[in-house]
Chain A
Amino acid sequence: SQQGEEDPQALSIQEGENATMNCSYKTSINNLQWYRQNSGRGLVHLILIRSNEREKHSGRLRVTLDTSKKSSSLLITASRAADTASYFCATDAAYGGATNKLIFGTGTLLAVQP
């Protein structure tokens, strides 16, 4: 079963604009990770945020986590055509200790128009 659900399912923006996608999940977590998938490079890890963190930055990426609402958001600033991809959130559920067993969401398809 899918733990996380991304919103929106699809997003189309112009180059230079910001893109925001959201992820909701169901159970308590140890950490939440965001991955990007495109045909050229496969599935690639972007950023990991721990359950005791609220915000994290990496280059043009900003991730927030609200454990009370069981939700996370990924912001990509100044988007580029190369950011066109599917973005997935993945949660490491907090059961039986930390296991690094990731459960992926349904994904957001981002299209950045040049």
Chain B
Amino acid sequence: EAGVAQSPRYKIIEKRQSVAFWCNPISGHATLYWYQQILGQGPKLLIQFQNNGVVDDSQLPKDRFSAERLKGVDSTLKIQPAKLEDSAVYLCASSPRRQSFFEQYFGPGTRLTVT
């Protein structure tokens, strides 16, 4: 089966600019996650969707980050305006259901560099 797709793979922007990332989860997966992974650290959950509803966005910096999941399939994550500390890899993951005991399938990530 096709894996989780993300684009772009790399992005370089200047601070205060805006950027958007796209994710297409595995077909049929109801739950979608966005993670931020800063170099040398483990991934940190930003937002979790169940179908097209937000389950958890407690760690999303809502003053600059926004995310949506249209029709419960694809998702976009936007940063506006970007700061230097937003430089990281942004990972999208999906799982069949929200309930525990299901592994998460990760996409290749988008490496963002803010200069």
Q: Footprint of B on A, CB under 8 Å?
A: 2, 4, 30-31, 33, 35, 42-45, 48, 50, 88, 90, 92, 98-107
Contacts and interface: CB of A to CB of B under 8 A. Distances in A.
Contacts of B106: 35, 42-44
A36 to B, nearest CB: 11
Contacts of B42: 2, 4, 88, 90, 104-107
Contacts of B72: none
Contacts of B108: 42
A67 to B, nearest CB: 15
Given A4-B42, A98-B99, A101-B45, 4 more contacts: A42-B109, A43-B91, A88-B42, A101-B55
Contacts of B104: 45, 100, 102
A50 B102 CA distance: 11
Interface residues of B, number: 25
A99 B55 contact: yes
B98 A99 contact: yes
Nearest to A29: B100
Nearest to B98: A100
A58 to B, nearest CB: 12
Given A100-B31, A101-B45, A30 B107 contact: no
Contact of A48 (B56, B103, B105): B103
Interface of B: 31, 41-45, 48, 55-56, 91, 93, 95, 97-109
B56 A99 contact: yes
Contacts of B109: 42-43
Contacts of A100: 31, 95, 97-102, 104
Contacts of A31: 100-101
B56 A101 contact: yes
20 contacts: A42-B106, A43-B106, A45-B103, A45-B105, A48-B101, A48-B103, A88-B43, A98-B101, A99-B48, A99-B55, A99-B98, A100-B95, A100-B104, A101-B55, A104-B42, A104-B43, A104-B44, A106-B41, A106-B42, A107-B42
